[in-house]
């Protein structure tokens, strides 16, 4: 698994293109909204392949693990989804987002 580094968006998009050209099935996760305390700004990306390998960052910690798992499903179904993590959501505590913020992450298959 990649280290989930926080390289800039153009690098992640280039990685996405390279993985796709190499024949890998991939999804792209993008932070589309934040509120309060959020570790990554709107526009941050995470590219994920069908084996769960990833590069980039949309949040950190367990949130990214949840995004990676959902992205594998998105790759399998071909259907995009929007994920929400926040303090009002019971899921937030489970995935480690207890810092008072909320994030929306759009996950789409790359075709």
Nearest in space to 1 (alpha carbons), one of 47, 52, 44, 36: 52
- Pairing status of strand 54-56 against strand 81-86: unpaired
Whether the pLDDT of residue 106 is over 90: the answer is yes
Place of tokens 């950190």: 60
Share of the chain above pLDDT 90, in %: 63
pTM (2 d.p.): 0.82
Report in angstroms the alpha-carbon separations of 60 from 25, 38, 68, 106. 23, 10, 11, 16
pLDDT computed for residue 3 by the predictor: 42
pLDDT per position as a tens digit, 37-76: 788 899 999 999 999 999 999 987 778 899 999 999 999 9
**Do 30 and 58 meet the contact criterion of CB atoms below 8 Å apart?**
yes
Q: What is the rounded distance in angstroms from the CA atom of residue 11 to the CA atom of residue 82? A: 23
């Amino acid at each position: 698994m990649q280290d989930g580094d926080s390289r800039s968006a153009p690098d992640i998009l280039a990685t996405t293109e390279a993985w796709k050209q190499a024949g890998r099935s991939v999804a792209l996760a993008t932070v589309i909204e934040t509120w309060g305390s959020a570790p990554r700004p709107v526009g941050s990306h995470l590219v994920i392949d069908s084996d769960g390998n990833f590069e980039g960052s949309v949040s950190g910690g367990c949130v990214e693990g949840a995004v990676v798992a959902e992205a594998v499903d998105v790759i399998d179904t071909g259907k995009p989804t929007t994920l929400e993590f926040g303090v009002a959501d019971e899921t937030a505590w489970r995935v480690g987002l207890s810092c008072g913020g909320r994030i929306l992450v759009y996950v789409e298959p790359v075709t």
